[in-house]
Amino acid sequence: MTAPGLAAEPEFVVLAGEDGEPIGSALKAEVHTDSTPLHFAFSCYVLGPDGRMLISRRALGKKTWPGVWTNACCGHPGVGETNESAIERRMRDELGLDVSGIRPAVPGFRYRAVDFSGVVENEICPVFLAEVARDPEPDPDEVMDWAWIAPRDLATAIDAAPMAFSPWSVLQVRDMRERGVFPDAARD
């Protein structure tokens, strides 16, 4: 969140070639269109002290998938920024949380999806797990709601109503379950 009266620094995303190597950067505000170039992102799923998973509902002002439920936090590493540093930054900015124990869950995850408005997400998006010690204090421009949910219940909800969730979270939860790295380790 930017302090009142201060302009936010422009945010850049790192563009990627089909080989998964960085090929440049572009302004985040300009890159998500109906022909979004492949770029780097991350998704982070967080667990609280009791083992429940934090999910968030995207604010209605978000450019893509407004109002849908998703993982705790996702975003884009900046130029020269590690995924871990980007996760720490976005967790503070979006949810007011400090994270610990960041670890990869699905390092090679990649997806492309088109939302109802025609905006394309086209990302190399490694998936991470982490821990937090308390409830979030979300930025309302990013997150309109949040909930703690048992991982098994999240997987059940995604299977029952996938359209209520971001397409990346649907794919990521299924992928983590198939790989046996989803926190509930449930396989049906």
Set 88, 94, 121, 123: catalytic member: 123
123 in catalytic set: yes
**By the 8 A CB rule, do 177 and 158 touch?**
no
Burial class (CB in 10 A: 0-12, 13-18, 19+), 112: exposed
74 in catalytic set: yes
Measure the CA–CA gap between 154 and 13, rounded to whole angstroms. Answer: 29
Which residue(s) pair with 28 in the sheet?
none
> Is the alpha carbon torsion for 45, 108, 186, 113 positive or negative?
positive
Measure the CA–CA gap between 40 and 100, rounded to whole angstroms. Answer: 22
Three-state secondary structure call for residue 86: helix
Set 44, 73, 74, 125: catalytic member: 74
Measure the CA–CA gap between 27 and 47, rounded to whole angstroms. Answer: 31
Measure the CA–CA gap between 71 and 42, rounded to whole angstroms. Answer: 11
Measure the CA–CA gap between 50 and 56, rounded to whole angstroms. Answer: 18
Catalytic sites, residue numbers: 74, 123
